[in-house]
């Protein structure tokens, strides 16, 4: 039991539990977690669980197994946080949250282009297929396509070196200076800050395009041209 | 040589997974391979019906897994093809009766028994689907040229990539060349453009498929049916032969476009 305790740390959140796992092989962590749950079934019954797996690299089958086992015990796993990009991707694929939302600040921050300059970007070197959801508190760059049914929500700009056919939201916490660029801009839906556009049509042949909010406050897109 | 385990899946229901499994199994067995097909849709079995073997079922896959019978006892021999076997699903149980480990173990045992194992995956991306892909060497994704079916196929391919199941291959089922020509249906190009995986076959829409399925004699037996020919061609490609794609509509150049698509990886 001593060992179990050192592997699994449980903390109460406002709306559920946060379990942090120490560095150990996944089999041990997994077993320790289930043992912990089975030791106090009444405590865990009906819990909303967020799991912090630190640097653990997890694939779909491992997370699905855990999710099923937890759900058999009446526990709802809604978030998996990790420093490993693989694990984050897995969690996103399964529709799990990868961050516990922090309480909103009282005052909405005023953004400027300069603000964005200091932030980091998430680089994704792959095609985002249906069911993938990427949320990032900075810019997102994709080298690949964004297929219908995939979503990107970024606080900064979104740049797609490929076809954009899914849903994207740039400047997701109110930054109207954010932009969305794609080689073929034909999203299911495109949002920048609080503006929504659903009428963007693909061009034949596709042309690089950038969407942003203009001075009048309307969301519009412009085809890139070498002349300007 | 150990068997190749192929799982046929789709995400969306009703696109023709079971029909594809039955026809590929028949076509492979006609080519002289020893084939075992497994109905992975526990609780909603119908591969046995399409193969016309419903009345021969004594034991099913859950009986094998739970040790009530030996593997050989649950393998139902086909009426016409002596090298074709079916392991049926249980009708009175659900997906939780089988785990991914059970499937992997079963595949291990089957690999030495035959040349091909074909697993018919249930629709969806839940447990039954996970079980069906657990022991697979290769996954074939079936889709129709419809936006919703392609969307679900895309999701499934994403999961297969995340599971590191190797690149999936695509069967485009129920293509209607006339509708493609009039731009009322997604073309093979549109579908491949989005899914970006290898195309292993295009099966044209053909009413003989439904007639044959209802008779319990898959269309692959029908020498005149184009869909039957398409399935026989896929079987040959699975055995490593190079077979040109069917000439579905020569006059409008669809043929050329399909050939071009087949050439790209």
Tell if the CB–CB gap between B158 and A89 is shorter than 8 Å.
Answer: no
| Contact present, A155 and A168 (Cβ < 8 Å) | no
Using a CB-CB cut-off of 8 Å, the residues of chain B touching A127 are 196
From A172, A23, A153, select the one nearest A98 (Cα to Cα). Answer: A153
Main-chain phi, psi angles of B183, to 5 degrees = 60, 30
Q: Which residues pair with residue A220 across a beta bridge?
A: A212
Answer yes or no: do A149 and B154 touch at CB < 8 A.
yes
In whole angstroms, give the CA distance from residue B231 to residue B202.
9
The domain containing residue A9 runs over which residues? Answer: 2-93
- Among A59, A65, A147, the residue with its CB nearest the CB of B194 is A147
pLDDT in tens, chain B (265 residues): 789 999 999 999 999 999 999 999 999 999 999 999 999 999 899 999 999 999 999 999 999 999 999 999 999 999 999 999 999 999 888 888 899 999 999 999 999 989 999 999 999 998 899 999 999 999 999 999 999 999 999 999 999 998 888 889 999 999 999 999 999 999 999 999 999 999 999 999 999 999 999 999 999 999 999 999 999 999 999 999 999 988 775 444 566 666 666 665 3
Domain, as residue range, for B60: 4-263
Residues A184, A206 contacting (CB under 8 angstroms): yes
Nearest residue on chain A to B133, judged by CA atoms?
A: A61
CATH label of the domain that carries residue A64: 3.30.750.50
Residue B162 sits at the chain A interface (C-beta within 8 Å): yes
* A residues 9-28 lying closer than 8 A (beta carbon) to B: none
First to last CA, chain A: 69
CATH number assigned to the domain comprising residue B237: 3.40.50.300
* Distance between CA atoms of residues A70 and A80, nearest Å: 13
Q: What is the CATH number of the domain that holds A118?
A: 2.160.20.70
A150 and A64 fall within a common domain: no
Closest to B47 (Cα-Cα) out of B88, B13, B8: B88
Say which residue the tokens 């999203």 belong to: A187
Q: Which residues are B37's β-sheet partners? A: B86, B118
The answer to whether residues A15 and A77 belong to one domain is yes
pLDDT digits 0-9 by tens, A151-203? 999 999 999 999 999 999 999 999 999 999 999 999 999 999 999 987 777 77
List all residues of chain B from 175 to 194 with a beta carbon under 8 Å from chain A. Answer: 194
Q: What is the DSSP string of A111-151?
A: P-HHHHHTS-EEEE-S-B-TT-EEEESSEEEEES-B-TT-E
Q: Cβ separation of A127 and B196 shorter than 8 Å?
A: yes
Would the CB atoms of A61 and B154 count as touching at under 8 Å?
Answer: no
Residues A147 and A85 in one domain: no
Tell me if A182 is assigned to some domain.
yes
Structure tokens at B117: 């194992």
How many domains does chain B divide into?
1
In this structure, the answer to whether residues A53 and A141 fall within a common structural domain is no
């Amino acid at each position: 039991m001593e060992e179990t305790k050192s592997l699994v740390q449980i903390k109460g959140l406002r709306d559920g539990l946060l379990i942090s796992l120490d560095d150990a092989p996944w089999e041990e962590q997994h077993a320790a977690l289930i043992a912990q749950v089975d030791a106090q079934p009444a405590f865990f019954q009906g819990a909303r669980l967020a799991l912090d797996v630190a640097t653990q690299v997890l694939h779909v089958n491992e997370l699905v197994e855990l999710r099923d086992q937890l759900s058999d015990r009446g526990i709802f796993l809604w978030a998996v946080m990790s420093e490993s990009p693989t694990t984050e991707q897995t969690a996103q694929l399964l529709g799990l949250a990868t961050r516990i939302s922090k309480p909103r600040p009282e005052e909405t921050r005023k953004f400027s282009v300069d603000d964005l300059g200091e932030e980091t970007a998430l680089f994704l070197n792959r095609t985002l297929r249906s069911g993938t959801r990427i949320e990032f508190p900075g810019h997102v760059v994709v080298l690949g396509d964004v297929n219908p049914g995939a979503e990107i929500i970024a606080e900064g700009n979104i740049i797609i070196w490929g076809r954009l056919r899914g849903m994207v939201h740039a400047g997701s916490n109110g930054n109207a200076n954010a932009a969305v660029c794609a080689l073929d801009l034909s999203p299911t839906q495109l949002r920048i800050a609080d503006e929504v556009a659903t009428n963007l049509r693909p061009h034949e042949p596709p042309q690089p395009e950038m969407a942003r909010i203009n001075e009048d406050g309307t969301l519009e897109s412009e085809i890139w041209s070498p002349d300007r | 040589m150990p068997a190749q385990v192929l799982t046929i899946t789709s995400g969306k229901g009703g696109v023709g997974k079971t029909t594809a499994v039955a026809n590929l199994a028949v076509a492979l067995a006609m080519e002289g391979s020893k084939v075992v097909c497994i109905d992975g849709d526990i609780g909603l079995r119908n591969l046995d019906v399409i193969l016309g073997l419903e009345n021969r079922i004594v034991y099913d896959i859950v009986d094998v897994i739970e040790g009530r019978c030996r593997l050989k006892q649950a393998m139902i021999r086909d009426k016409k093809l002596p090298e074709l076997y079916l392991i049926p699903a249980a009708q009175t149980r659900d997906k939780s009766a089988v785990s991914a480990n059970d499937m992997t173990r079963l595949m291990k045992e089957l690999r030495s028994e035959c040349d091909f194992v074909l697993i018919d995956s249930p629709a969806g991306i839940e447990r039954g689907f996970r079980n069906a892909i657990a022991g697979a060497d290769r996954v074939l994704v079936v889709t129709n040229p419809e936006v919703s079916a392609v969307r679900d196929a895309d999701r499934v391919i994403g999961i297969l990539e995340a599971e590191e199941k190797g690149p999936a291959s695509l069967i485009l089922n129920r293509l209607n060349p006339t509708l493609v020509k009039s731009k009322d249906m997604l073309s093979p190009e549109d579908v491949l453009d989005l899914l970006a995986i290898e195309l292993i076959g295009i099966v044209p829409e053909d009413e003989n498929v439904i007639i044959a399925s209802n008779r319990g004699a898959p269309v692959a037996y029908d020498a005149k049916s184009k869909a039957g020919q398409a399935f026989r061609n896929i079987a040959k490609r699975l055995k490593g032969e190079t077979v040109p794609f069917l000439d579905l509509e020569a006059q409008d150049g669809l043929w050329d476009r399909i050939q071009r698509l087949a050439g790209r990886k």
